[in-house]
Structure 1
Amino acid sequence: MEFAKGHGTGNDFVIVPDLADERPLRADQVAALCDRRFGVGGDGLLRVVPSAEPGAKWFMDYRNADGSVAEMCGNGVRVFARYLLDHGLADGPEIPVATRGGIKHVAVEGDRFSVDMGPAELGPASRASLGGSTWTGRAVSMGNPHLVCHLGDDERLDELELCHRPEHDPAVFPDGVNVEFATGTAPHVRMRVHERGVGETASCGTGACAVAAIALRRDGAGTGVCEVELPGGTLTATVTDRTVHLAGPAVIVAEGTARIPGGRS
């Protein structure tokens, strides 16, 4: 099986081209390929398959590292577009990509990729608990569920043990949730994230959009440009009344062949 490895600010993915949609992967095969010791290693897997949606030639079949299905990935869709561009499967300067969260349009500007992520839909207040502490947060949907807990100027951000999954209210998030912890004020904030089905990651694109939307709302503006600093790098989120644009790098670091764990599906 051919594969590539790519990342967006350290949020890394195994990319599998399946241009005729002939080899769907089971959850256990995805998990094995994403394993960092026994597989290629990645926070998730992007399978490149034909799209059934008018207006986009390719569909991003995105899976979390544990093999579970995810609706959307802001870093992943930029890396996906980079792969299409590098392999002659799409032309710039704008690349439409079909996802479970709808068609996303990725604009290519040199080594920088910007994607229209759609609106940040604010939900109810909720809570996250970790290590005996509880924080109030706000639900935000970016096509996938987020809980943004803003710690103000609390510098405990670096001390959080995000190797453990924060507890959340299953009544608000029945399908699980990506939990973001943020500090600082717009236009520059810092964040860490525990991603559903993965664990802590170096970056989360949809999470950065959710954090920026909350930070700008706290600032009183509600809209504007916000830089979001993550362990793996900095992303820029531009929040408007109608959508959020996410900009940052997308890098392919390796290509090769791999054995499919457990054989073909």
Structure 2
Amino acid sequence: MSDSRRSSGPLLSFTKMHGLGNDFMVVDAISQPFRLRPETIRTLADRHFGIGFDQLLVVEPPGLPDVDFRYRIFNADGSEVEQCGNGARCFARFVRDQRLTNRKVIRVQTAGGVLELKVGKDGWVTVNMGVPELNPAAIPFAADSRQLVYPLEMDGEIFTLSAVSMGNPHGVLVVDNVDAAPVETLGPKLERHPRFPARANIGFLQIIDAGHARLRVFERGSGETLACGSGACAAVVAGQIRGLLGKRVDVELRGGHLVIEWQGEGTAVMMEGPTAHVFEGQLRLPAETSPRRSRRGKDSRQNP
């Protein structure tokens, strides 16, 4: 046996999915042992040398008595995060497609709280994203008191944004035109602004009318994605508290549309949108970062 084969571990089964172009590698860690180091996640996320994805989603057994699964999310840079709305929809479809559950309403435990996922027809999923947090200390965001908008200084300029947590921190700026917004340059700077001690997802929101908005999001740890579910929820909350948006909004992202509904403070944000299965496959990881033994018998080819 060659040195490369001696250093290789067993096969890991995975599924590639996306929600409006926000794409994921999804792993069942219930039916097979699973462990990945951050550097391995970064390699797998690479779109030239790996599988390519915005986030890695992991299905684990529940850690609470009243939930069905634990849902873990890792960004393309290997960091673990609290929330991913598009991922939650794909998670719901995945556990049903893999016959891990036959329930149409699924409760999952995340690092940001418990989510309720409802599976509908044609791959559409409705997610109860929970009650948004606007208290600065809980977002977290450095401010003495809660405000509708906050001024942030960056490179000698003042930018005004709203701060919202949907289980993960968001900053939302209102812009005249998302196509001309400086997402690639301003996004990473605001993501790491000192007033966001845990970093943040930065949304650039264009108001069309009270029921229609356009949005681009620079995601913490992943960069700009084609869609961000939690970002769409945060944007609607920010727009509504500023009197710019209504209670039900069609949010147009670069990858497609989400419907976001929020009845106001103290109520949960509901998100509805599609999911898509791309392919299934297996990969062989280095022994030091791979699971001990895979229980699945699928062949090693990727099937479209």
TM-score, normalization by structure 2: 0.80
Residues 249 and 14 of structure 1: CA distance in aligned 2, closer, same or farther (over 3 Å): same
> For 1:17-40, what per-residue CA distance to the aligned partner results, in whole angstroms no more than 9, with x for missing partners?
111573221111111111111111
> For 1:91-129, what per-residue CA distance to the aligned partner results, in whole angstroms no more than 9, with x for missing partners?
232111111112211011112100100112224533567
CA–CA distance in structure 2, aligned partners of residues 81 and 132 of structure 1: 45
Secondary structure, aligned partner of 1:137: strand
Q: Equivalent residues in 2 for 1:119-198 (5 A)? A: 119-122=131-134, 123=136, 124=146, 125-127=149-151, 134-151=158-175, 154-155=176-177, 157-164=178-185, 165-168=187-190, 170-184=193-207, 185-198=209-222
Amino acid at match of 2:41: V
Choose 1 or 2 for highest CA Rg: 2
Secondary structure, aligned partner of 2:24: strand
Q: Please, what is the CA RMSD of the aligned residues?
A: 2.1
Q: What stretches of structure 1 move > 4 A for 4+ residues in a row?
A: 127-134
Which structure carries more strand by proportion?
1
CA apart distance, 1:210: 0.6
Secondary structure, aligned partner of 1:197: coil
> For 1:202-247, what per-residue CA distance to the aligned partner results, in whole angstroms no more than 9, with x for missing partners?
00000000111122223367x6111110000000111023110010
TM-score, normalization by structure 1: 0.91
CA–CA distance in structure 1, aligned partners of residues 51 and 269 of structure 2: 32
Structure 2 residue 70 is matched with structure 1 residue 49: no
Q: Equivalent residues in 2 for 1:1-265 (5 A)? A: 1-19=12-30, 22-110=33-121, 111-122=123-134, 123=136, 124=146, 125-127=149-151, 134-151=158-175, 154-155=176-177, 157-164=178-185, 165-168=187-190, 170-184=193-207, 185-219=209-243, 224-241=247-264, 242-260=267-285, 263-265=288-290
| Structure 1: unaligned runs, 5 residues or longer | none
Amino acid at match of 1:158: D
| Structure 2: unaligned runs, 5 residues or longer | 1-11, 137-145, 291-304
CA–CA distance in structure 2, aligned partners of residues 163 and 14 of structure 1: 24
Among the aligned pairs, what percent are the same residue? 39
Residues 131 and 44 of structure 1: CA distance in aligned 2, closer, same or farther (over 3 Å): farther
Residues 5 and 131 of structure 1: CA distance in aligned 2, closer, same or farther (over 3 Å): farther
